[in-house]
Amino acid sequence: MKKFAVISLLLFLISSTFSLDRRIRCGVSGANCLRLYGEASVQGYGNRSELMEFHQRYALGAYSIFREYRDDNLGLYNSTAIYGDLGSLDIIRGFLSLSFSAGAHLSRIEDGYNCSELLIGGATHFDFTFWKDRSIVYSDFHFLWASNFLVGWGTLSFSPLENVEIGCGLHYDGELDNWGNDLPFLEDKWNRGINYFALLGYNFDL
């Protein structure tokens, strides 16, 4: 995972010298779990007059989820991932964009299971206010796959101020779901591998 992080960071730094828009997005969220996240991106400006256009976009992000199960004698659950997005295919003048993603994922429960995988997948971004000068209501979804394993998360965000975002989201951990299926009495407790969260974040323009 360390090698993946170093390589991704180098690619991000190199690509940032050729892009026009550089941004760091970070925040903290929680509901039935605590979730910390951050994402750095560089993106070329697309032509919003085109119905479909491919343009340059690189993103490097990470998140960590923590949930306490000690009261049930199950320990602490945590899920961490480092991921990268490459390219952006904008559809319907920026309403929808698609990117290729790859990442490394670690999930574990104390005295339960440990899972560490390299995954590939995709990301979708919806800008519900794409005709505005800046995004006000938007959402994003990531899906990463390995053999018989899926991790994914999605958020819906509202930006009342230019660099502030509030919203909510869901996170799915396929390994947590599968482990719960092996122990039927835990299936409801894991909520089929889904954790949900509210979020508060800030975007830094560089």
96: left (phi over 0), alpha (psi -120 to 50) or beta: beta
CA dihedral 169, 142, 70, 116 (to 10 degrees): -170
Q: Distance between CA atoms of 90 and 95, rounded to whole angstroms?
A: 7
Query: Closest Cα to residue 109, out of 24, 195, 40?
Result: 195
The residue that leads in pLDDT, 13 or 166, is 166
pLDDT of 80 > 50? The answer is yes
pLDDT of res. 123: 92
The residue that leads in pLDDT, 13 or 130, is 130
pLDDT of res. 137: 95
CA dihedral sign of residues 32, 78, 73, 172: positive
Q: Where are the beta strands (DSSP E) in the chain?
A: 21-31, 34-43, 52-69, 75-91, 96-109, 114-127, 137-146, 149-158, 164-173, 194-205
pLDDT of res. 67: 86
pTM of the model: 0.79
Q: Which of 12-26, 123-137, 161-175 has the lowest mean pLDDT?
A: 12-26
pLDDT of 192 > 80? The answer is no
pLDDT of res. 47: 60
pLDDT of res. 19: 47
The number of folded domains in the chain is 1
- Residue range 61-84: average pLDDT? 83
Cα angle 40, 93, 57; round to 5? 25
Q: Distance between CA atoms of 99 and 32, rounded to whole angstroms?
A: 29
Give me the amino acid identity at 98.
Answer: L
pLDDT of res. 203: 81
pLDDT of res. 72: 62
pLDDT of res. 157: 93
Cα angle 176, 197, 141; round to 5? 75
| Full residue range of the structural domain in which residue 90 is found | 2-205
Q: Distance between CA atoms of 86 and 99, rounded to whole angstroms?
A: 6
Strands 96-109 and 114-127, bridge-based pairing: antiparallel
pLDDT digits (tens, 9 = 90+) for 127-167: 999 888 888 999 999 989 877 678 899 999 999 888 899 99
Q: Is 155 exposed, middle or buried (0-12, 13-18, 19+ CB in 10 A)?
A: buried
